[in-house]
Chains A and B, each alone.
Chain A
Amino acid sequence: MPNYEKNGQKVWQLRTTRSQWIRWGMWLAGLVLFLLSWQEISDNTLWFMMDNVGEVVADIATRATPPRWSYMNQLWIPIWDTLAIATLGTIFALFMAVPVAFLAARNTTPSRLLVRPIALLIIVSTRSVNSLIWALLLVSIVGPGVLAGLIAISIRSIGFCAKLLYEAIEEINVVQVEAIRATGASPLQVMAYGIVPQIMPAFAGIAVFRWDINIRESTVLGLVGAGGIGLQLQSSLNVLAWPQVSLILLVILFAVIIGEWVSAKVRGAII
């Protein structure tokens, strides 16, 4: 136990002197790194712009209130599109994520050396690129519109769903699978009655969770031209129509809250 002597008595301390110094060094390095980062941000900021931030905020706030409620008539179709992108995107992603997950899980993959790394590569590369970047790319391929957003959301969700799903597959109880196999079931039947029922709750949870995230993401896809309510947001921002912007933001907030509420309810019912 680390201690030191004081007036001939041993006094307890939390750490040895050495680990104390290492800790101080790490904190110092972290602090220096942070200060350097902050300096870089500060150098790239026009601080004289900040003098009247309060006025700008007050100005925008007065312009943005009250929201232009009559604009709502033009928002119903974009809202429908946004929901369609989120829902269909999640469904497509799940169709593609399930086989990838089975190929990536250690206990179901046909080949650990060949197939598993490919499946993991698909998971990592689709997961690390944001859906807005996918949308940007797809807009230049399939043209602006809902389709680009739909594909972007699907691709982005594959990695997320497949990762969570293959972790669930790896955690299944082997005994149940063996019990089904012992009845003389074919590999497909083992899959359907031994593995699938065990991962079904996880699968449903992942699906609803991702649907919730996709609603949030699909609201901004329109900024790059990939359909949904983001298009209206972009065009309202471009003409500085703040009452419309505030209405759209309220609608998005409402949609996100509804999505979260539904997904919490469904997950609560399943799990």
Chain B
Amino acid sequence: MSAALEAKLGQAWKKPHFIKNPLWRWALILGSIAYLAAAFAGIDVNLDRIARGWERGWDFIKAFGNPDFTSRWGDIYKGIYESIVMTIASTVVGIGLSIPIALGAARNIAPLPVYLICRAIVAISRALNEIIVAIILVAILGFGPLAGFITLSFATIGFLAKLLAEDIENMQKVQAEAIKATGSSWSQWINYGVQPQVMPRLIGLSMYRLDINFRESAVLGLVGAGGIGGTLNTAFDRYEFDTVAAILLIIIVTVMFLEYLSGIIRARIQ
């Protein structure tokens, strides 16, 4: 038995600390507490306003027990229809744009200049929030679903191309080389060597993105880019909480349905 172990005999075991250096540990703990305290201090809570708003909040919760689908059904239907249309169109276009960019953003397929350009596109798309892109596009293109459609297509690139490119980079080289060894052209090589390996992931990601695009299309209307968000905003402005509840329920049910559907499809593919 070593001397170090000998010395520890008879002492109770203590969980080792996450950060070994006590100076660093305490500095981090105190720093975090100081930051959190300062952050808390920055929040001004207006109790009077909350007390008045509480009644409204309770009305809202009650509205979920009695959602009003009928009185604004025309607006709700139009909004949901527009959201679905935007979701489908932008997902299709987004996937179509993502595939070539993903091929370009995979280091094992693309030459360096193409790789850098495609990675830059992905980085820009990921860094810009959908709402901000929508605001700019509404300013340029005017109100309507076109701005929302372009926003969602652009946002799809950042998500899909990045994850697909990572999957292509992780693929098995052997299969792709076997196809190349048969004397295939570049497009045949991609089609028979690379595509079958990444197809399950591509379909899974596309389904997931469809789901995300629908959720996002529900808020783009807040800035005038089409979809159910506009109807929702109007209902909030009128304090028609029963209509709001109806819209939220429709969104939740659609999202659950899409998630269920994508679960089935992904299970069947794998």
Say whether, besides A133-B219, A140-B56, A44 and B127 are in contact (CB < 8 Å).
Answer: no
Are A136 and B256 interface neighbours, CB within 8 A?
Answer: no
Which of A136, A145, A216 contacts B129, CB < 8 Å?
A216
Secondary structure of the A contact surface, majority rule? helix
Contacts of B261 in A (CB 8 A): none
Are A257 and B89 interface neighbours, CB within 8 A?
Answer: no
Q: How many positions in chain B have a CB within 8 Å of any CB in the partner chain?
A: 57
Are B60 and A141 interface neighbours, CB within 8 A?
Answer: yes
Are A34 and B39 interface neighbours, CB within 8 A?
Answer: no
Nearest chain A residue, comparing its CB with the CB of B86: A41
Shortest Cβ distance from residue A177 to the other chain B in the assembled complex, whole angstroms:
17
Quick one: CB contact mask for B44-86 with A, threshold 8 Å, 1 for yes?
Answer: 1110011001101100100000000000000000000110111
* Interface size grouping (class) on chain A: 35 or more
Shortest Cβ distance from residue A219 to the other chain B in the assembled complex, whole angstroms:
6
Interface centre among A36, A128, A237 (most CB of B within 10 A): A128
| Residue B197 lies at the interface, judged by CB distance under 8 Å to chain A | no
Which of A36, A41, A136, A147 contacts B236, CB < 8 Å?
A136
Secondary structure of the B contact surface, majority rule? helix
Are A140 and B88 interface neighbours, CB within 8 A?
Answer: no
Q: Which of B239-267 contact A (CB under 8 A)?
A: 239, 244, 248, 251-252, 255-256, 259
Are B219 and A219 interface neighbours, CB within 8 A?
Answer: no
| Residue B226 lies at the interface, judged by CB distance under 8 Å to chain A | yes
Are A80 and B42 interface neighbours, CB within 8 A?
Answer: yes
Shortest Cβ distance from residue B135 to the other chain A in the assembled complex, whole angstroms:
7
Say whether, besides A38-B89, A41-B89, A249 and B132 are in contact (CB < 8 Å).
Answer: yes
| Residue B175 lies at the interface, judged by CB distance under 8 Å to chain A | no
Contacts of A41 in B (CB 8 A): 85-86, 89, 145-146, 149, 226
Shortest Cβ distance from residue B93 to the other chain A in the assembled complex, whole angstroms:
8
Contacts of B144 in A (CB 8 A): 44-46
Are B53 and A37 interface neighbours, CB within 8 A?
Answer: no
Are B226 and A143 interface neighbours, CB within 8 A?
Answer: no
Say whether, besides A133-B248, A249-B132, A143 and B43 are in contact (CB < 8 Å).
Answer: no
A223 vs B136: C-alpha distance when bound (angstroms)? 13
Contacts of A30 in B (CB 8 A): 92
A87 vs B81: C-alpha distance when bound (angstroms)? 36
| Residue A33 lies at the interface, judged by CB distance under 8 Å to chain B | yes
Interface-lining segment among A53-61, A96-104, A108-116: A53-61
| Residue A3 lies at the interface, judged by CB distance under 8 Å to chain B | no
Say whether, besides A49-B142, A237-B135, A128 and B53 are in contact (CB < 8 Å).
Answer: no
| Residue B34 lies at the interface, judged by CB distance under 8 Å to chain A | no
Shortest Cβ distance from residue B49 to the other chain A in the assembled complex, whole angstroms:
4
Shortest Cβ distance from residue A240 to the other chain B in the assembled complex, whole angstroms:
9
Are B252 and A220 interface neighbours, CB within 8 A?
Answer: no
Are A143 and B222 interface neighbours, CB within 8 A?
Answer: no
Interface centre among A130, A145, A260 (most CB of B within 10 A): A130
Shortest Cβ distance from residue B36 to the other chain A in the assembled complex, whole angstroms:
7
A83 vs B43: C-alpha distance when bound (angstroms)? 12
Contacts of A141 in B (CB 8 A): 50, 53-54, 56-57, 60
Nearest chain B residue, comparing its CB with the CB of A86: B39
Q: Which residues of B contact A (CB under 8 A)?
A: 35-36, 39-40, 42-46, 49-50, 53-54, 56-57, 60, 81-82, 84-86, 88-89, 92, 127-129, 131-132, 135, 139-142, 144-146, 149, 215-216, 218-219, 222-223, 226, 229, 232-233, 236, 239, 244, 248, 251-252, 255-256, 259
Between A and B, 22 residue pairs with Cβ closer than 8 Å are A37-B84, A37-B92, A38-B89, A45-B141, A45-B145, A84-B42, A87-B36, A88-B39, A133-B219, A133-B229, A133-B232, A136-B232, A136-B236, A137-B60, A140-B53, A143-B46, A143-B49, A146-B43, A147-B43, A217-B129, A219-B129, A224-B222
Known contacts A81-B42, A145-B46; can you find 12 more A-B pairs with CB under 8 A? A41-B226, A44-B82, A44-B144, A45-B146, A130-B215, A136-B233, A137-B244, A143-B50, A145-B44, A146-B44, A216-B129, A223-B135
By Cβ-Cβ distance, the 9 closest A-B pairs, closest first, are A84-B39, A143-B49, A128-B255, A141-B57, A37-B89, A141-B53, A37-B85, A45-B146, A220-B131
